[in-house]
Amino acid sequence: MAGTVEAKKQIEEATKEYKYGFSSDIDMEMAPKGLNEDVIRYISAKKNEPEWMLEWRLKAYHQWLKMEEPDWAKLNFPKIDYNDIYYYAAPKSQDKPKSLDEVDPELLRIYAKLGIPLEEQKVLAGVEGARKVAVDAVFDSVSVATTFREELKKAGVIFMSISEAIVEYPEMVRKYLASVVPVRDNYFAALNCAVFSDGTFVYIPKGVRCPMELSTYFRINAENTGQFERTLIVADEGSYVSYLEGCTAPMRDENQLHAAVVELIALDDAEIKYSTVQNWYPGDKDGVGGIYNFVTKRGNCKGKNSKISWTQVETGSAITWKYPSCILTGENSVGEFYSVAVTNNYQQADTGTKMIHLGAGSRSTIISKGISAGRSQNTYRGLVKILPSAEGVRNYTQCDSLLVSDTSGAHTVPYIEVKNPSAQIEHEATTSKISEDQLFYCRSRGLDEEEAVAMIVNGFCKEVMQHLPMEFAVEAQKLLGISLEGSVG
Amino acid sequence: MIKIDNLHVNVSDKEIIKGLNLEINAGEVHAIMGPNGAGKSTLASTIAGRENYEVTSGSITFDGKDLLELEAHERVGEGIFLGFQYPVEIPGVSNLNFMRTALNGVRRYRGEDDMSAAEFMKLIRVKAADLKMDMDMLKRFVNVGFSGGEKKRNEMVQMAVLDPKFAVLDETDSGLDIDALRTVSDGINAQRRDDTAILLITHYQRLLDYVKPDFVHVLANGKIVKSGGPELALELEEKGYADVA
Ligand SMILES: Nc1ncnc2c1ncn2[C@@H]1O[C@H](COP(=O)(O)OP(=O)(O)O)[C@@H](O)[C@H]1O
Ligand SMILES: [Mg+2]
């Protein structure tokens, strides 16, 4: 295979040329800290990427160099030193726990509370050598995995890592990659283009209803994809897919900076349902540590009557900067955004959506529920934009904030730009403090303080949670409670 | 069963209960009557353990235990139930889920296993039917959009599910039409046993026609100012609080 030979050559070259040198140990492949052309060449070569992909990455890198980190969000964090970051391979892999005995007992307590099986706990906690075993555990057995793959294949669904797709389906990837989120869209998106480690590619053929929920759980893949993940989902005419990202268990990751990009494309009459539970490490009670999560997620409802629906439950990360959006290009297309964002302790979240209406008769719905506890800050930031071409469109926005503590903040920043007077736009927003009467009522029925808060908060989030796929919903409910532990009093 | 001794309670730094004594034995039903603002609901909330209701002196003993040492949810586990004067709405939480969580919370407190969903459904069907509450209402969000009477019946279903040793029912009869009053009274009477006790807080004699109390007390200005048998309620109805107390 020409591609492989070429790739090998590239690795050799990259390794030879790179002045700081790379570890040649197969088990410890990694680039040194910092970002430059050589690191990008190295990443590309490691992934056997074709020349065009490398060039694309390099162009993105040079674009990124010219850009600046955005500062408009209501977030406070120390300046990130982009040259103090590993862009390839698991840093400090020698520090991995050898067994569950070495894992933070606090983490294990939460796993137990969520009812996660032992083998899976190992994977989530990053225990050395756990992956192989756990994949089997997740699938129950290897045969389940095989059945799963075969069923998808029969339906003609492509579901693979994006690295594989770049090699196996280059035309399709080239056509759609960065077609929704342009390289220069924002600082973090440009960075992701240059260095993305891995991610997922999904293609649903014409008229196919994907026979199962696709979950990142099922994608047997390289470790360390969380940091600069890249996802591309294309739903061809009349197809349907539901995709689940993340999991409810807290995820251990030593990389502090995350910058993922997700692009969705829905053609005529196609529907994509994208659900996320984000529970990266939020930092400790005093706000030390935690992931900085700068995510760009956008879908293009390209075809007529197409639909893209984002549902997110955001409980993790020290910093969340994330606006899953819809470009409603197609006539009568539909965009939806259902969001729960919980912040506790010193977490900061600035999250929301953009609904850009171009197509006539397009409709969008935004339901956002923000819950702030501890000393956290929680901001909804949204844009509803109606372009002149968008005749007769409708938007409904509802933003509710619930304060669990006196020391937290809830903020709502809705932008509305209307360039077509026929648009019907409704916006509702509320902010309330968790009610003492509700708490006492729950407690007088035998719920302890944390159970009472969890119950009230889950009720508050009901309209969003009901959009989660069933298998996620129950765990996500428990997760809300866990995220708010210690938030009262 | 419960003994309240020289109880003083402050709410927002204002003394509301001012030296209250009350003893209720197993098998007894007591009624407390009294003018608005006398402190009846404050007493009920204090028994249930509402936070920020500060007991400045006195004691409450329940089955020999110091009740004031226990948190609200622990008191439920010990067998105390409060039927609210104004039941609270909890949007987004189904009545069924609420009651099942409550029941399992109490069971766990007592070291028992959770009740399975199937078993719970069997139980709730019976209890709800007794109080003429249909499935639809059980599936709705807790008290959201319920009429006054529906809210009170819902309180009674919760009581039946939790099967408390000691129930404090705060104006469970207000806002009920005559049919609902009868249904609710049946619910209360079903809870009346040799091993349980009930404290009814009410303004009206008409509830006491259906649930005959063993003792009636008049609470005024944070204290029990008069106690007697069922005839005291009739006297109050006739003459008003001012003349009796
Ligand atoms: N949260 C509160 N803060 C301040 N005063 C209160 C509060 N709740 C009740 N009160 C006062 O306590 C007194 C007793 O009220 P309550 O116990 O509800 O009386 P009742 O139930 O007998 O009508 C009233 O004067 C009322 O205004
Ligand atoms: Mg009252």
Give SS3 for A402.
strand
Name the residue with the closest Cα to ligand 1, atom 27: B37
Query: What pLDDT sits at residue A388?
Result: 97
Instruction: Using the predicted structure, report yes or no on whether residue A14 has a pLDDT greater than 70.
Output: no
User: Contacts of residue B102 in chain A, CB cutoff 8 Å?
Assistant: 445-447
Query: What pLDDT sits at residue A147?
Result: 58
Tens digit of each residue's pLDDT (9 = 90 or more) over B6-58: 999 999 999 999 999 999 999 999 999 999 999 999 999 999 999 999 999 99
* Closest CA in chain A for residue B87: A441
- Candidates A446, A461, A463; nearest CB to B102: A446
| Distance of alpha carbon A229 from alpha carbon A234, whole angstroms | 17
Name the residue with the closest Cα to ligand 1, atom 25: B37
Secondary element (H or E) of residue A351:
strand A348-357
| Distance of alpha carbon A145 from alpha carbon A131, whole angstroms | 15
CB contact under 8 A, B98 and A445: yes
State the pLDDT confidence band at A132, using cuts at 50, 70 and 90: very low
In this structure, the residues whose C-beta lies within 6 A of any atom of ligand 1 are B 11-12, 14, 16, 34, 36-42
Find the A460 Cα to ligand 1 centroid distance in Å. Answer: 28
**Angle, vertex CA A350, rays to CA A346 and CA A352, nearest 5:** 145
| Distance of alpha carbon A260 from alpha carbon A407, whole angstroms | 31
CB-count burial class (<10 Å; 0-12, 13-18, 19+) for A395: buried
Instruction: Using the predicted structure, report yes or no on whether residue A26 has a pLDDT greater than 60.
Output: no
**Angle, vertex CA A284, rays to CA A347 and CA A257, nearest 5:** 65
Query: What pLDDT sits at residue A315?
Result: 93
Query: What pLDDT sits at residue A28?
Result: 44
| Tokens 């709730």 -> residue | B124
Query: What pLDDT sits at residue A270?
Result: 98
**Among B17, B32, B41, which residue has the most ligand 1 atoms within 8 Å of its CB, making it the best to mutate?**
B41
CB contact under 8 A, B105 and A447: yes
Disruptive mutation site among A436, A444, A458 for chain B (greatest number of B CBs within 10 Å) = A444
Instruction: Tell me how far apart the terminal alpha carbons of chain A are, to the nearest angstrom.
Output: 64
Mean pLDDT of the region A199-207: 94
State the pLDDT confidence band at B242, using cuts at 50, 70 and 90: confident
State the pLDDT confidence band at A143, using cuts at 50, 70 and 90: very low
Q: For chain B, which residues lie within 8 Å of any Cβ of chain A, measuring from their own Cβ?
A: 45, 48-52, 71-73, 76-77, 81-82, 84, 87-93, 98-99, 101-103, 105-106, 109, 141-142, 158, 162
Sheet architecture: strand order including A240-246: A214-215, A240-246, A271-278, A307-314, A334-343, A363-372, A394-403, A424-433
Q: What are the domain boundaries of chain A?
A: 2-481
Secondary element (H or E) of residue A189:
helix A187-195
Is A128 within 8 Å of A96 (Cβ atoms)? yes
Secondary element (H or E) of residue A459:
helix A449-460
Tens digit of each residue's pLDDT (9 = 90 or more) over A215-270: 765 443 334 456 888 999 999 999 999 998 876 666 656 668 889 999 999 999 99
Instruction: Using the predicted structure, report yes or no on whether residue A5 has a pLDDT greater than 60.
Output: no
Instruction: Using the predicted structure, report yes or no on whether residue A481 has a pLDDT greater than 70.
Output: yes
Is B207 within 8 Å of B32 (Cβ atoms)? no
CB contact under 8 A, A438 and B90: yes
Query: What pLDDT sits at residue A121?
Result: 66
Query: What pLDDT sits at residue A92?
Result: 43
B195 or A286, which is more confident? B195
Cβ-based neighbours of B43, under 8 Å, separated by 6 or more: B7, B9, B17, B20, B32, B201, B219
Find the B39 Cα to ligand 1 centroid distance in Å. Answer: 6
State the pLDDT confidence band at A194, using cuts at 50, 70 and 90: very high
- Helices A37-46, A51-65: crossing angle, 10 deg rounding: 150
State the pLDDT confidence band at A439, using cuts at 50, 70 and 90: very high
Mean pLDDT of the region A135-149: 43
CA B56 to chain CA centroid, Å, is 23
The alpha carbon of residue B214 is apart from the nearest alpha carbon of chain A, in Å, by: 26
Percent of residues, chain B, with pLDDT higher than 90: 91
* Closest CA in chain A for residue B144: A459
Percent of residues, chain A, with pLDDT higher than 70: 78
DSSP state for residue B144 in the 8-state scheme: T
User: Contacts of residue A449 in chain B, CB cutoff 8 Å?
Assistant: 71, 73
| Distance of alpha carbon A379 from alpha carbon A144, whole angstroms | 42
CB contact under 8 A, B72 and A435: no
Mean pLDDT of the region A181-209: 94
Q: Which residues have their alpha-adjacent CB atom under 5 A from ion ligand 2?
A: B 40-41, 85
Whole-Å CA distances, A446 to A244, A489, B70, B102: 35, 18, 12, 5
Least confident of A30-34, B103-107, B175-179, B188-192: A30-34
Q: Which residue type is seen at B227?
A: S
ipTM of the prediction: 0.97
| DSSP states along B97-134 | HHHHHHHHHHHHHTTPPPPPHHHHHHHHHHHHHHTT--
- Burial per residue of A298-311, b for 16 or more beta-carbon CB atoms within 10 angstroms, e otherwise: bbbbbbbbbbbbbb
Name the residue with the closest Cα to ligand 1, atom 10: B11
pTM of the model: 0.86
Query: What pLDDT sits at residue A46?
Result: 84
Mean pLDDT of the region A184-192: 96
User: Contacts of residue B98 in chain A, CB cutoff 8 Å?
Assistant: 445, 455
* Closest CA in chain A for residue B83: A444
Instruction: Using the predicted structure, report yes or no on whether residue A354 has a pLDDT greater than 60.
Output: yes
The alpha carbon of residue A461 is apart from the nearest alpha carbon of chain B, in Å, by: 7
- Candidates B92, B98, B109; nearest CB to A461: B92
* Closest CA in chain A for residue B161: A445
* Closest CA in chain B for residue A454: B93
Instruction: Supply the mean pLDDT for chain A.
Output: 84
Mean pLDDT of the region A129-146: 39
Query: What pLDDT sits at residue A418?
Result: 97
The alpha carbon of residue B48 is apart from the nearest alpha carbon of chain A, in Å, by: 6
Q: Which ligand is nearest to the CA of B174?
A: 2
Instruction: Using the predicted structure, report yes or no on whether residue A125 has a pLDDT greater than 50.
Output: yes
Tens digit of each residue's pLDDT (9 = 90 or more) over A275-332: 998 888 888 888 888 889 999 999 999 999 999 999 999 998 999 999 999 999 999 9
Is B30 within 8 Å of B236 (Cβ atoms)? no
